[in-house]
Amino acid sequence: MSLTFSATVTGSVTDGVLVVTIDNPPVNAASADMRQGLFAAIDHAAADSGIAGVVVTGAGKTFVGGADIREFGKPMAEPLLPQLVNHIEACDKPVVAAINGAALGGGLEIALGCHHRIASPAAKLGLPEVKLGIVPGAGGTQRLPRLAGIVAAAEMAATGRMVGADEALALGIVDEVTTDDLVAKAVAAVGALAGDPPRRSGELAVQAADAEAFDKMSAKVLARARGQDAPAEALRLVRSAGERTLAEGLVDERATFIRLRDADQAKALRHVFFAERAAAKVDGLEGVEPRPIRTIGIVGLGLMGSGIAVAALDGGYTVIGAEMTAEAAEKGRERIVAVLDRNVASGRLDADGREKRLARLTTSGRLEDLADADLVIEAVFDDLAVKTELFQRLDAIVRPDAVLATNTSYLDPDVLAAATTRPERVVGLHFFSPANIMRLVEVVNCARTAPDVLATALAVAKKLGKLPVVSGVTEGFIGNSIFSAYRREAEFLLEDGALPQEIDAAMEAYGFAMGPFAVFDLAGLEIAWARRKRQAGTRDPAERYVEIADRLCEAGRFGQKAGRGWYAYPDGKRTVDPEVTALIEAARTKKSIVARRIEAEEIVSRLLGAMAAEGDRLLANKIALRASDIDLVLINGYGFPAHRGGPMFAAGRS
Ligand code: T1G
């Protein structure tokens, strides 16, 4: 007999057990309708003497993906999630969670309110709220430590790390893992538990924490949390679970959740969450099938190319790495193997994974060996003549349906496309170094790129686990265009009166891991210098131009690797250098600029404003599809603090 408790919650009685299924696509989020339905299902079971207990499970691949984030900022209908979780836990009949997939945030909290938890191997459990700038708000910080202990629970709540079924079992978060019929197993568990007092996680004692382990974990978490409020609050709430009653802890948790939910950081991180999902949606690609890609050729196995090769191997592709000579190819292979070995040493990869990847890798000193590649990505020296000649050769080697992608940062991919007989198959895949680590890939939609080629590039980037953002063709695409505007304004500030260390301090206080001048030194000053010299002949004389960086380069101050740049680096330690201050003062004098004190607030405002103004230009010229895409590029490629939402969000433009 089928029972309907709400539009998204239905039930059926099997062997005297009410099996409740949550079906709220796409992720079974705990919407108002779902909460009302599940609440009613528990009431129904409690009232029906023919029902021995309840099984709660999700339809599809998710158990419950969490509270419905789209409801945040709107009036919340009862029952609120904590009320629902408390209601489940208070039920006098056994309620068993059959965790069939992701149980995240409120989804895990619902499972923790159940009296017994059985997970399928596909289950993923976690409290990712801190990634949204909040803390769990329905008992997660209070019930999880009662099952998993304070240190493990605190680490999960403060980092948002998900655990798989086996780790959840080892931690005591779930009671069983089964590869059998999950619901049948849960129905049997209800039968076995019926008649006994339910085991309520909220009533369990909290085991005393290993203080040293907690402090060590906490220090690591807070070091990474830089400027974010939620992780410290999550640590505090879990840590204090052992010092007060469940009721007291729940009150503090809820108040903290509401305070953080309505604060700026959570609003920014919710923006980023939805921005990431919007970025993959490109008008005109609905229903466009990507071309099947199994073998990826990579030309150029230097730092970028070898990183891209590892990313492709990690993504499950067969990889042919090509260089111009056998020796260079062998060196490239060594670079790839070295990255894999580092991943094994760090525990990110096991020996079997390493072997499987190497079995899918071949390297060659002959471009002709790329003939069977479905996609070829070039990552050779960023020189137009070199890349153009390479594309002409590849065009004649690969199949007509093969896709050709350029990793260029600054060159015009339309010129490369025009050098081939099939420009429609050319696209840009601008990776960020190290390509096997950085999530961001700018997918450059060239003038002639065919829709299915663009769809192919997006699909490959997604399979690589990357965050693809579509960019049109302009020098520097989205990221480097904005970064150039950021650099220009930072140098204007120098002329006007600020010093590199003051500008860096202001931006680091705002939330950047590194200020602009520290970043310029890290990246090296010579490439920007070469570009400025190339552009000198055509530069508009009316345009304000700052010569300070040129003076640095003329003095051989090319940045951290050279031991001197905007800073000096005695023993590798970034140090203010009076020589640079003198160079800046001389540049001001040359332009008769009277330096003035510039406060941090003006520094931040001008630099954010410069980025947002360039973002407006990119939107007006249709280089970026949406303002939130620009935010994603700056956050994932240039260290813009995610909890500030990105330059366009910070400027109120997205
Ligand atoms: N609420 C609303 N919409 C959501 C959602 C959510 N929690 N999670 C995903 N979506 C949408 C998403 O925007 C996209 O929409 C579609 O679902 C597919 O998402 C009280 C308060 C579950 C692992 O943080 O991690 O519980 O673009 O592409 O790759 O303590 O979604 O199709 O229109 O990501 O299969 C805590 C967030 C909330 C989990 C599935 N939960 N979601 O991944 O699909 S706060 C989370 C995810 C909370 C309580 C607190 C993933 C997923 P559209 P998708 P996926």
pLDDT digits (tens, 9 = 90+) for 483-514: 999 999 999 999 999 999 999 999 999 999 99
b/e code 260-284 from CB counts within 10 Å (16+ = b): bbeeebbbbbbbbbebbeebeebee
Phi/psi class of residue 570: alpha, beta or left (left: φ > 0; alpha: ψ in -120 to 50)?
beta
**Residues 89, 56: Cα–Cα separation, whole Å:** 13
Query: Phi, psi at residue 441, to the nearest 5°?
Result: -135, 125
- Res. 265: pLDDT tops 80: yes
- Counting ligand 1 atoms within 8 A of each CB, the residue from 8, 27, 31 with the most, and so the one to mutate, is 27
Helices (H), 132-229: 140-148, 150-159, 165-171, 182-193, 211-225
The model's confidence at residue 42, banded by pLDDT at 50, 70 and 90, is: very high
Whole-number pLDDT of residue 387 = 96
Q: Give 410 Cα–ligand 1 centroid separation in angstroms.
A: 35
- Res. 147: pLDDT tops 80: yes
Ligand 1 neighbours by CB, cut-off 6 Å: 26-27, 29, 62, 65-70, 81, 102, 104-106, 109, 128-129, 132, 136-138, 140, 274, 277
Average pLDDT, stretch 59-80?
94
What is the CA angle 221-226-230, rounded to 5?
Answer: 70
**Residues 113, 95: Cα–Cα separation, whole Å:** 9
Strand partners, 56: 20, 97
Computed over every residue of the chain, the mean pLDDT equals: 96
- Picking from 450, 489, 447, 487, the residue whose alpha carbon sits closest to that of residue 471 is 447
Q: Give 237 Cα–ligand 1 centroid separation in angstroms.
A: 24
Cβ-based burial of 25 (10 A; exposed 0-12, middle 13-18, buried ≥19): exposed
Residue with CA at minimum distance from ligand 1 atom 35 = 27
- Res. 534: pLDDT tops 90: no
**Residues 537, 531: Cα–Cα separation, whole Å:** 11
The model's confidence at residue 382, banded by pLDDT at 50, 70 and 90, is: confident
pLDDT in tens, 107-139: 999 999 999 999 999 999 999 999 999 999 999
- Res. 1: pLDDT tops 80: no
Q: Hey, which bits of 409-523 come out as E strands?
A: 426-431, 440-444, 467-471
User: Which atom of ligand 1 lies nearest, measured to the CA of 140?
Assistant: 30
330 is catalytic: no
- Give the percent of the chain with pLDDT over 70: 100
User: Which atom of ligand 1 lies nearest, measured to the CA of 82?
Assistant: 20
**Residues 339, 433: Cα–Cα separation, whole Å:** 13
- Res. 566: pLDDT tops 80: yes
Residue with CA at minimum distance from ligand 1 atom 42 = 65
Residue with CA at minimum distance from ligand 1 atom 41 = 66
Domains in the chain, start-ordered, CATH in brackets? Answer: 2-262 (3.90.226.10), 295-473 (3.40.50.720), 479-650 (1.10.1040.50)
Residue pair 581/567 in contact by the 8 Å Cβ criterion: no
pLDDT in tens, 282-297: 999 999 999 999 999 9
- Res. 276: pLDDT tops 80: yes
Whole-number pLDDT of residue 642 = 96
Whole-number pLDDT of residue 364 = 98
Only one residue has tokens 């005297």, namely 16
The DSSP output letter for 433 is S
Residue pair 198/94 in contact by the 8 Å Cβ criterion: yes
Average pLDDT, stretch 88-99?
98
Average pLDDT, stretch 637-652?
97
Q: What is the pTM of this model?
A: 0.94
- Counting ligand 1 atoms within 8 A of each CB, the residue from 22, 31, 69, 286 with the most, and so the one to mutate, is 69
Q: 297 is written with which tokens? A: 């050729």
Whole-number pLDDT of residue 106 = 98
Kindly name the residue from 129, 233, 378, 442 that is annotated as catalytic.
Answer: 129
Whole-number pLDDT of residue 527 = 86
pLDDT in tens, 322-371: 999 999 999 999 999 999 999 999 999 999 999 999 999 999 999 999 99
- Picking from 98, 107, 38, the residue whose alpha carbon sits closest to that of residue 69 is 107
- Picking from 366, 452, 438, 447, the residue whose alpha carbon sits closest to that of residue 413 is 447
Whole-number pLDDT of residue 528 = 87
Sign of CA dihedral 398, 400, 406, 410: positive
The model's confidence at residue 318, banded by pLDDT at 50, 70 and 90, is: very high
User: Which atom of ligand 1 lies nearest, measured to the CA of 135?
Assistant: 30
Q: Give 23 Cα–ligand 1 centroid separation in angstroms.
A: 14
Whole-number pLDDT of residue 278 = 96
109 is catalytic: yes
Average pLDDT, stretch 216-226?
94
